[in-house]
Structure 1
C-alpha cells in the first residue's frame, strides 16, 4: 500500500513540473500559423502584431494556469501523511483459555489417601488447570490430618452432615452405601455450584493413577462436550486384568454402554440433570439404569488409567480379591491430545465397530477355551441368552454380572477382551437392537 501511494505522488509531481515546462514553451514559442501543430492552439493565445498585447495576454494566461497548478500542488501536499507507511495496528487474537478440570477426591477414613494424593501431585502438569479438591466424610481425625498436611496444594472440604440415615430394617447393613450417596451429592454440589466449575474428574481415596491420567482426560474433555450421545469418560476397564488386554495398544479407546466409574469425568450439564433425582443409596448402580443412561455411552480405555488398592470398604472386598487387584495399570504415556479421536464419534464408531465384530470369524466356546484357534483373529464368540453369556464370561475370566441387562464394558451387547493373545468379541447374534433389563 505504501509503495502504491508513493508512486502516485511521484507521478503527480512529475506531471506538475512537465506541464509547466510545456506551458512555457507553448506560450513563449510564438509558433507561426504555418508551422505544424499551430492549428491546435487556442485563438486567444495566438500571437499578433501587437507585441505588448501578446505579452500581457501570455502573462494573464500564465498567471491563471499557475494558480490552477498551485491548487493541484496544494492538494498533493495535503496528502503528505500518505507518504509515510501507515502504522500497522496490532490485532489481538483471542485464544480461548484451556478449561480447568478439577480432580475431586472422595475420602472418608483411609489414611492411605496419601498414596492417592502423592501420585496425583507427582503427575499433575498444572496446579491451575487441575486443582485437587478432597471432600472428606466420616469425620476421621487421622485421615483429616493427612489431608491437612498438604497445605494449599489441595482444597480440603468436610462433609458437615455425619448423622446416620434412617433406613428400612433390612437395609441397616447398607448404611455405608447411603452415606456414600449423600456424600457424593454434597461434594458434587460443592464443585459445580459453590466453586462454579464446569466439569470434574472424580476419584476415590483408594485409587492410583497412570502417568497419562491427566493427558487422557484433557484430550477427551472436548469429545465429551461436543457429543450429546456421551455422558461420561472413565479411566477404568472392568475387564482390564493383566493378560485380558492388548499390551500393544495402550492408546485404544472404546465406547461403552456400561457406566464404569472408578476415575470418571462428568460435565455440569449432566449433574444438573442427575442431581434432582439423585438416589439415597447405591448411586453407581442407579447410574446404570436406562432411565439415567438414556441410551448414552461412556468412553473407556483398553488399559486402565486407574488402579484400586483399597481392599477394605463398604463392599467388604466383594470383587477385590477376584478381579480388582489384577487390573493392569497403564505404564506408557500416550499423547492423547495429539491423536485424532474422531473415530469415537457415535455414527463413525458404531459403523466401524459393528463391521469389525460381525466380520470376525465365529468360533465356539470350546475352541476358545482349549486354544484351538488358528490365525491371529479377531474372533467372535456368540451368546444367545443371559445364561449362555454368564456361563462363558465366568469360565473365560471376565466379569459376568449385568446391570439393567448391560454387561460390564459392553457396547451394543458386545464385550471385547484379550484371551491367550487374541482378540475375542463375546457378542449377541447379528441384528442386536436393545438390552433386556430383566437380564440382571
Structure 2
C-alpha cells in the first residue's frame, strides 16, 4: 500500500513538473501582445518586432515562471518527504524530530588513534537524538587510517580536518613538547569551527579515547540550564579525578558536586566563555592554563560522584601519565539517572556553598591513622584536616587519591575540600574552618 501510494505521489510530481515546464516553453515561444502586424506597401502584412523593452519583459516573465517552478518542485518534494508523518498507517513508526530544545553538539577531538571507533560507537549507541546531539569529529595529524575509520560512519558524524599540520616553532627546551603545542592549536581551531563557523551556542568536548556512560547525554542536557543561568559556573564535566572503584559511593549515581578544579575529560562550555578565552588561548598546555586563576576567575564546574566518561587511551602525548595508577581504574557509571527530571537547584552557588560547609565542618574530625587503618566507627561522614601543602600531599597520596595541585587547587576540590570514600565511609579531606582562598604557591 505504501509503495503504491509513494508511486502515485511520484507520478503526480512528475506530471506537475512536466506541465509547468511545457507552460514555460509555450509562454517563451508565444509572441508578446506588444507585437503588431501592419500592412506593407504591397498589401503584405509586415511583422513589427518587439522592442528591447518587450524582450526584457518576456525574459523577466520567463525567469519568474522558472523561479515559481522551482518553488513548486520543492513544495512537492517536502510533501513527499513528510507524508509518513501524517499517513495514518504509519502512526506507530518513528517520526522525524524537529528540535524544540537547544542543540548540544558533541565535539570529538581526534588525531591518530583508530580506536576512535570505540568512542564513536558508544556515543552513537547512547545518543537519544541525532538532531539534538550532532557529532562533530575534528581530526588533526592527517592520519589516513584514522580518517578511514571516521569516514566509515558516513553521515552519522561530521568529519572536519584541521588544515595546518606543520610543526610549530618552539624554544629549544620545549621541542619534546611539540605534541602539546599541536593539541592546543587543534583545540582552538576546532572550537572556532563549532562556535564561529557552525554557530552553536554550547558544546560538549570529548577526546578520541573516551567511552561515555548510558546517561552521558541526559547529564549534560539537564545541566545546560544551570550553566546558562549561574554566572559562578563556567563548565560542566563528566569526570571525577578521584572516581576510582572503591573511592565513590556506588549508591549515589545521582550525586553531583561543584568543584574549583577544571576536570576536563568530557566537558561542556558555552559560546560566551569561548569568546572570552579564545583571544588569549595558550600555545600549549591548554588544560593547565585553564586551571590558572586568571582563567578560572573563582568560577566552578559541576562534576559527578561517578564519572560519565572512561579513558581507554594509555598512549598519547602524556605517555600514560597517571593512567596505570589512577585512570584505568575509574568507575564508569552504568545506571541511567533521569537528571532532567531531578531538581538540581541545590547546585546553585548560594545554596550549595552553605549546605556544603555545614556538612563538612559539622562532621567529626578524625586522624589519618584512624582512616588509614579502618578504625572509624559509625556511618560518617568524617573530616580529615590538613593545614599545609605537605600534609595534604602526604595524606592524599597514602589514602590513594590524587595528590597534585594546580595553582593551589586539589583535584576534585571545592573550597579546598576533597570528598571521597574510604573503606565504605565518606571522608572530607579539608582545610581548617574559616578557609578563604587558595594559595597559588601550592603547586
- When normalised by structure 1's length, the TM-score is 0.78
Superposed, 1:19-168 pairs within 5 Å as 97-168=100-171
Separation in 1 of the partners of 2:277 and 2:164? Answer: 21
Separation in 1 of the partners of 2:375 and 2:116? Answer: 46
Match of 2:306 in 1: 303
- 1:425 alignment partner, SS class: strand
How far is the alpha carbon of 1:132 from its aligned partner?
0.1
Separation in 2 of the partners of 1:139 and 1:105? Answer: 15
Separation in 2 of the partners of 1:318 and 1:215? Answer: 30
Separation in 2 of the partners of 1:241 and 1:96? Answer: 37
Separation in 1 of the partners of 2:358 and 2:226? Answer: 23
Separation in 2 of the partners of 1:384 and 1:118? Answer: 46
How far is the alpha carbon of 1:131 from its aligned partner?
0.1
Q: Do the aligned partners of 2:99 and 2:132 also contact (CA within 8 Å) in 1? A: no
Separation in 1 of the partners of 2:168 and 2:191? Answer: 19
Uncovered stretches (5+) of structure 2, i.e. residues with no partner: 1-97
Match of 2:268 in 1: 265
What number of residue pairs does the alignment pair up?
Answer: 346
- Measured at CA, do residues 182 and 96 of structure 1 come closer, stay the same or move farther in structure 2, by a change above 3 Å? closer
Separation in 1 of the partners of 2:217 and 2:160? Answer: 22
Match of 1:406 in 2: 409
Match of 1:73 in 2: none
Match of 1:39 in 2: none
Match of 1:175 in 2: 178
How far is the alpha carbon of 1:139 from its aligned partner?
0.1
Corresponding position: 1:241 with 2:225: no
Look at both structures and tell me which one has the larger radius of gyration over its CA atoms.
1
- 2:120 alignment partner, SS class: helix
CA-atom RMSD in angstroms? 0.9
- 1:106 alignment partner, SS class: strand
Separation in 2 of the partners of 1:324 and 1:366? Answer: 26
How far is the alpha carbon of 1:97 from its aligned partner?
2.2
Match of 1:82 in 2: none
- When normalised by structure 2's length, the TM-score is 0.78
Runs of 4+ in 1 over 6 A off after TM superposition: none
- Measured at CA, do residues 402 and 183 of structure 1 come closer, stay the same or move farther in structure 2, by a change above 3 Å? same
- 2:137 alignment partner, SS class: strand
Uncovered stretches (5+) of structure 1, i.e. residues with no partner: 1-94
Match of 2:79 in 1: none
Match of 1:318 in 2: 321
